[in-house]
């Protein structure tokens, strides 16, 4: 179930200038940490549809244990969401806005950008592609840099955590696709 964000969501602003830069993952902006992680998650059109649906409806994120609150039940440009991680007093929600959604027959997913209040500044895309040989591939591409004192203090730990989360998303999506 998607919990809808309140009136605060539209007032938040993007925290970076290179909006949409994850559309061209081979040319990410300088001055940021870059993340690219790709993994096969299934095979064939049915698996592609299942994977794309899980990504665009926040199901994949929720299946990792993240809480998602959003202004819509599906990714679309302009949709605002908050992804919550942690438990109890350590729980923390990070605000994002969907920047772009591919409109292609064999490509699904979305990219979101960080909003004020997010500990990082940048953009991250979550894409599912049906390759010509039938492989369904999930790819996370991101560029980010610290936006808060504690993420600056954490230094190289944050990129490692981002990679670990991208890998976890790939494992979860593989499981969701296998379950159909």
Confidence of residue 3 (pLDDT cuts 50, 70, 90): very low
Return the CATH superfamily for domain 31-65+101-179: START domain (3.30.530.20)
Q: 15 Cβ partners below 8 Å, 6+ apart?
A: 113, 114, 115, 116, 118, 121, 122, 147
Residue 90's pLDDT band, with cuts at 50, 70 and 90, is confident
User: How would you list the strands of the sheet with 135-146, edge to edge?
Assistant: 33-43, 135-146, 120-130, 107-114, 92-100, 80-85, 67-70
Tell whether the model's pLDDT for residue 7 goes beyond 80: no
Q: Give the mean pLDDT of 46-67.
A: 96
Q: Find the angle CA(40)-CA(38)-CA(164) to the nearest 5 degrees.
A: 110
Q: What phi and psi, each to the nearest 5 degrees, are found at residue 151?
A: -80, -30
Neighbours of 52 (CB within 10 A): 22
For the whole prediction, is pTM greater than 0.85?
yes
Percent of the chain with pLDDT over 90: 84
Helix (H) / strand (E) element for 68: namely strand 67-70
- Assign 161 to helix, strand or coil: helix
Mean pLDDT over 93-113 rounds to 95
| Residue 82 DSSP class | E
Tokens of 102: 């591919």
């Amino acid at each position: 179930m998607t919990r809808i964000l309140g009136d605060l969501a539209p007032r938040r602003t993007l925290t970076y200038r290179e909006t949409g830069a994850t559309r061209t993952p081979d040319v990410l902006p300088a001055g940021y940490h870059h993340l690219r992680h790709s993994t096969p998650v299934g095979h064939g059109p049915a698996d592609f549809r299942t994977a794309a649906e899980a990504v665009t409806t926040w199901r994949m994120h929720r299946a990792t244990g993240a809480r998602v609150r959003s202004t819509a039940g599906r990714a679309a440009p302009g949709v605002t969401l908050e992804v919550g991680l942690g438990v109890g007093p350590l729980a923390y929600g990070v605000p994002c806005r969907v920047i772009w959604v591919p409109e292609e027959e064999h490509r699904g997913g979305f990219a979101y950008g960080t909003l004020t209040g997010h500990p990082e500044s940048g953009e991250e895309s979550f894409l599912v592609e049906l390759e010509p040989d039938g492989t369904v591939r999930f790819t996370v591409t991101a560029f980010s840099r610290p936006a808060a004192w504690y993420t600056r203090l954490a230094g190289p730990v944050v990129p490692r955590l981002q990679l670990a989360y991208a890998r976890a998303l790939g494992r979860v999506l593989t499981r969701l696709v296998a379950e159909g």
